[in-house]
């Protein structure tokens, strides 16, 4: 429950609305999951809350630590389904990558999550629960009111799933991330990543002001249709028009475009120049992401030399361009590698023929 929901709930109990901020601080800032520990709330109210509500986080099935300091949690959200969340430490910042769905329905061809199929949307509790679990596991059980000495400084909705296909729950969870009495993150430090669900992106502009990242991966519709199938429904020009609308009234903001580098597929100098022309009138930052392999994929990572040439063309054209450093690949926590455990209601996995079988048939 966010602050508005909690305030309404406490008023319905005959309590003052300020009880909501107390509860938010106990749960999200102090990491408390037991009403008996909430010492500034009357014993009578604590008993009533224990009888009528619950504080329950996702179950940690497995926690892994990478050699580079990245940490990954496998979290059980119901019987048979698990999701993954990843913390990436860097000098001066710590980024938590959060999932929004069990699996993903979009079937992007280069993403391990997509190969697992799709089961369901995560609830608000299951989304914000990932932040709560990571905060506790990282040893930060109390947040400074001014945000000082944070361990988690940024949250990115870039884990399993397409956030805009779980719109209401994702927005409410992000509201808790930016709530002063919960996690208190700046809206610029919460990023939603989308493959381009245009109607939902237009709707997002009306209810949220978080940072936006777009999984582009190709500068033309023919190639993007192959890599990101939702492009067939919402082609690039329609997507970019929505991106521009999202930035209206935000003169100092930019869209981050994510571009996974696939050897011999989308990494040629010609395509880099095409990308320059495509984004010429869109305030942009471009993240080049070396492809992270997973079992049975048909793709390989672009060479460092090819990535450098691609990047240099973008930089020379005036784009802020960063080659993302691969983190956590030794524990399958790198971008595109999150898989979790998905009871595939979409039956997608049943329709796939393993690459090895195709090779034998050929």
Q: Point out the residues that are catalytic.
A: 84, 335
C-alpha 140 chain-centroid distance: 21
| R_g of the chain, CA atoms, integer Å | 21
Contact 32/18 with Cβ under 8 angstroms? no
Question: Which value, to the nearest 10 degrees, does the dihedral of the CA atoms of residues 303, 70, 118, 342 take?
Answer: 120
Report H helices in 152-259: 167-178, 198-207, 221-227, 236-247
Helix (H) or strand (E) holding 89: strand 81-90
- Distance, C-alpha 205 to centroid of its chain: 18
Q: CA 124, CA 236: separation in Å to the nearest integer?
A: 30
Can you tell me the distance from the alpha carbon of 326 to that of 237, in angstroms, rounded to the nearest whole number?
30
Structural contact between residues 337 and 105, judged by C-beta atoms closer than 8 angstroms: no
Cα–Cα–Cα angle for 113, 191, 197, nearest 5°?
Answer: 60
Pure H helices in 193-285 = 198-207, 221-227, 236-247, 269-278
CB distance 301 to 293 below 8 Å: yes
Nearest of 119, 121, 68 to residue 99 by alpha carbon: 121
Helix (H) or strand (E) holding 44: helix 43-52
- What is d(CA 79, CA 201) in angstroms, rounded to the nearest whole number? 32
């Amino acid at each position: 429950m966010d602050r508005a929901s909690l305030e309404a709930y406490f008023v319905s109990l005959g309590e003052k609305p300020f009880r909501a901020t107390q509860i938010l601080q106990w749960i999200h800032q102090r990491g408390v999951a037991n009403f008996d520990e909430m010492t500034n709330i009357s014993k009578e109210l604590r008993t009533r809350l224990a009888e009528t509500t619950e504080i329950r986080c996702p179950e940690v099935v497995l926690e892994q630590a990478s050699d580079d300091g990245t940490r990954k949690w496998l979290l059980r959200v119901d019987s048979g389904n698990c999701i993954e969340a990843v913390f990436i430490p860097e000098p001066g910042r710590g980024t938590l990558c959060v999932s929004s769905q069990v699996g993903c329905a979009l079937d992007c061809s280069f993403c391990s999550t997509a190969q697992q199929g799709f089961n369901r949307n995560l609830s608000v509790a299951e989304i914000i629960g990932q932040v709560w679990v990571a905060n506790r596991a990282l040893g930060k059980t109390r947040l400074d009111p001014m945000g000082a000495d944070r361990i988690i400084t940024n949250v990115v909705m870039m884990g399993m799933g397409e956030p805009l296909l779980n719109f209401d729950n994702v927005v409410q969870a992000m509201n808790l991330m930016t709530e002063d009495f919960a996690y208190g993150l700046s809206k610029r430090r919460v990023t939603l990543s989308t493959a381009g669900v245009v109607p939902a992106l237009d709707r997002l502009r009306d209810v949220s002001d978080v940072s936006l990242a777009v999984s582009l991966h190709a500068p033309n519709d023919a190639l993007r249709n192959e890599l990101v199938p939702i492009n067939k429904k919402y082609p690039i020009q329609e997507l970019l028009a929505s991106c521009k609308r999202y930035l209206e009234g935000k003169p100092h903001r930019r869209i981050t475009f994510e571009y996974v580098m696939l050897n011999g597929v989308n990494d040629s100098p010609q395509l880099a120049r095409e990308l320059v022309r495509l984004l010429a009138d869109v305030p942009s930052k471009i993240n080049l992401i070396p492809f992270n392999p997973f079992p049975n994929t048909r793709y390989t990572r672009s060479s460092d030399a090819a990535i450098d040439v691609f990047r240099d063309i973008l930089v020379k054209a005036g784009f802020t361009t960063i080659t993302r450093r691969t983190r956590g690949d030794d524990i399958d926590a790198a971008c595109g590698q999150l898989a979790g455990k998905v009871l595939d209601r979409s039956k997608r996995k049943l329709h796939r023929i393993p690459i090895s079988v195709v090779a034998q048939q050929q």
